[in-house]
Structure 1
Amino acid sequence: MGLSLVIFPVFFCIITAAFGFPYEQHKLMGKCSSTRECSTGQICSSCPVELQGSRCVRSSTTNPFNLVNASMPFNKYAYLTTHNSFAIKKRPIQDAVPQVTFTNQEDTISQQLSNGVRALMLDTYDFKGDIWLCHSFKGKCQDFTAFEPAINALKEVEIFLSSNPSEIVTLILEDYVEAPNGLTNAFNASGLVKYRFPVSNMPKDGKDWPLVKDMVAKNHRLVVFGSQRQKEQSEGIAYQWNYMVENQYGKDGMVRGKCSKRADSSELNDRSKSLVLVNHFRTIPIHQASCKDNSQDLMNMLSTCYHASGNRWANFVAVDYYKRSDGGGTFQAVDMLNGKSLCGCDDVQACVSGSSSCTRGSK
């Protein structure tokens, strides 16, 4: 009898492993040894700067359109944004040329979108007779700074939009393309043209954008901003600074208690621009340090930038290594922003009709 008591648990563990029966799922911040031990929407992550051992941390956002509604203007929601979305680790080596540049993300663009990222920062260049995504310098792409042809990333976005007919994606382009209609040709080839939100419909003088549900109904589900003023007229790519304010990026944009504008942007409290973008990433990306950057430090900066932006919460939150945190991370930050904007609560989950968990702060 005693032997049976010993054998049965061992046998059960073997069967569990062999047939893939579910492991015990740990709640947020629970200790773990693999992601399959964590709950849905979490990963098992190590963050030596902040945590002791590996813990279950969030890895996906809450969709406010599904949770609350899609009947507010586009500029009333917050969207998780990845900085240099294309600059991922383990990318294929192009033409066997070693890469000598920084990386900012771990996931493919498809994975980012699947996890709730809704805005992508892409750097576009003329390279090899085509349009490429590069993390380069002085406006020139090099073999050792090139990641992939832009068409590859754009096709990933097209696949996501075609598979998710109620979602909206924003592209923010740092654009060095000089080839006539270079970007237009890339959008045409990718099949994204049919989703483009027309520049002629973009609001001026700080007015509200159309309702999300109306953008979806018209299939205007790709919003594109670029850094070249003349392309608003020549290619219909909205000049970013006509519609958006943005804080300083890099180390100078991460000073505690300070939220200053980047050089290209008008003043953060300029209400003639209806969108607010908050950058929170280092000049030189550091994978492990992003755990701390994407946690309470990010929440503090969003609060600081709220006041600097004339009491407006950010619409776009741009980060490196978006899944790295000591708990809720960037996903909780976006939930906070949507909660503040949609119902005045500290978490969008509290905006659900009948919820009694609302903690009201600054609207």
Structure 2
Amino acid sequence: MARLAFSFAVMILIMFHFSSISFASSYGSFQLGDQCSSDVECGVGLGCFKCGIDVARCVRSNITDQYSVVNNSMPFNKYAFLTTHNSYAIEGLPLHVSTQEDSIVQQLNSGVRALMLDTYDYEGDVWLCHSLDEKCFDFTKFNRAIDTFKEIFAFLTANPLEIVTLFLEDYVTSPNGLTKVFNDSGLKKFWFPVQNMPKGGQDWPLVKDMVANNHRLIVFTSAKSKQETEGIAYQWNYVLENQYGDNGVEPNECSNREESVLLTDKTKALVLVNHFSTVPVKVLSCKENSKHLIDTIQTCYLAAGNRWANFIAVNFYKRSDGGGTFQAVDKLNGELLCGRDDVHAC
């Protein structure tokens, strides 16, 4: 019995030893660009992704916190934020066209700070959905808006220094339909009032003041009437935006979206750059989210009268051949905050 107990103890120690090794190396030691076979082999802030026919490599998978590198004492429009296009269109539903791999919670935890959501009336509720003829159908719906809104509420509650922006492509026609969802989800607690939004291209409030006032949810709608009827800011009163889809990824081109005023218009303080193909293809997003993305934000800087983007919207935001979307946001924050090519140089 004593020998059996000793053998058992040795086995437990060996198992603990190996589990300790596994735990200690859970982040991995592989560096940016190293060949890998799984996320656990890559270092902190990196993930293992395959780009095209190339082997899988460790690439950036998390944002730099610009507030910790610099501070949060600048106006909101002096910072840049990673934005996911059709953030709700997450892989996993058969026959649905997806644009993202991660859940909303994962996107926010990885540093995404602006979400593009398409809202529709459907089955007596508000749903996030793709559309056919501006209508939601069973085979194009993803999930109820309130479920996503509750995830955003949980994130803002757990992260009291963070600000999230929502861009709603809004087809909800039920009276106060969106307001009800914002109220029921609890998100009204963090609402940035439309009357506090600057006009005429003036600076936004300081981020630290927005945090102190708990005005940490900025919501824009594409429905003009909602600003008057529900107090939801009409996007084109405050934001400039370039072409989206294939027109937005043309090399050396950056022209305004039809709904937007000219990119050179200085009466809007926020600039959004779209950079995603009309048909989302994960393997093609690698190229789109790499050097091509850096080239586009530089092209749009010139097109916007030497103004850097505050938001860059992409598909499959973690797909790249290296620094990807996270490097692009680092560049934007560096340029906006201190005139340097990378926020780490500020």
Shorter-normalised TM-score: what interval?
over 0.9
Aligned to 2:183: 188
TM (norm. structure 1) is 0.89
Name which of structure 1's ranges 19-28 and 112-121 shifts more when overlaid on structure 2.
19-28
Deviations 1:53-75 (A, max 9, x none): 11110001001112210000000
Which of these residues, 204, 211, 217, is aligned with residue 209 of structure 1? 204
1:28 aligned residue: 32
Work out the CA distance in 2 between the residues paired with 1:35 and 1:125: 36
**1:244/1:276 contact within 8 Å kept:** yes
Instruction: Return the alpha-carbon distance in structure 2 between the equivalents of residues 255 and 21 of structure 1.
Output: 45
User: SS where residue 143 of structure 1 aligns?
Assistant: coil
Residue of structure 1 equivalent to 2:339: 344
Letter in structure 2 aligned against 1:118: R
For the Cα contact (< 8 Å) 1:101–1:136, is it kept in 2?
no
Match of 2:48 among 22, 44, 47: 44
- Name 2:9's counterpart in structure 1: none
Aligned partner (choices 223, 231, 236) of residue 231 of structure 2:
236
> Which residue is 2:63 aligned to?
61
Given the alignment of the two structures, is residue 270 of structure 1 paired with residue 270 of structure 2, yes or no?
no
The CA distance in 2 between the partners of 1:101 and 1:15, in whole Å, is 45
Cα offset, 1:14, TM superposition: 11
**Residue 284 (structure 2) pairs with residue 282 (structure 1):** no
Match of residue 89 from structure 1: 91
What percentage of aligned pairs have identical amino acids? 59
State the distance in 1 between where 2:174 and 2:184 align: 15
Which AA in structure 2 matches 1:109? I
Residue 98 of structure 2 is aligned to residue 103 of structure 1: yes
Q: Mind listing any 5+ residue stretches in structure 2 that lack a counterpart?
A: 1-13
Note the residue ranges of structure 1 that are not aligned, 5 or more in a row.
Answer: 1-11, 92-98, 352-363
Structure 1 residue 21: deviation in Å? 4.1
Alignment: residue pair count: 332
Amino acid at match of 2:44: T
Q: Separation in 2 of the partners of 1:13 and 1:101?
A: 44
Are 1:137 and 2:144 an aligned pair? no
Distance 1:100 1:90 in 2: 9
1:117-161 alpha-carbon deviations (Å, 9 max, x no partner): 000000000000000000122210000000000000000000000
Once residues 179 and 276 of structure 2 are traced to their aligned partners in structure 1, the CA distance between those partners, rounded to angstroms, is 30
- Among 306, 313, 321, which residue is 2:308 paired with? 313
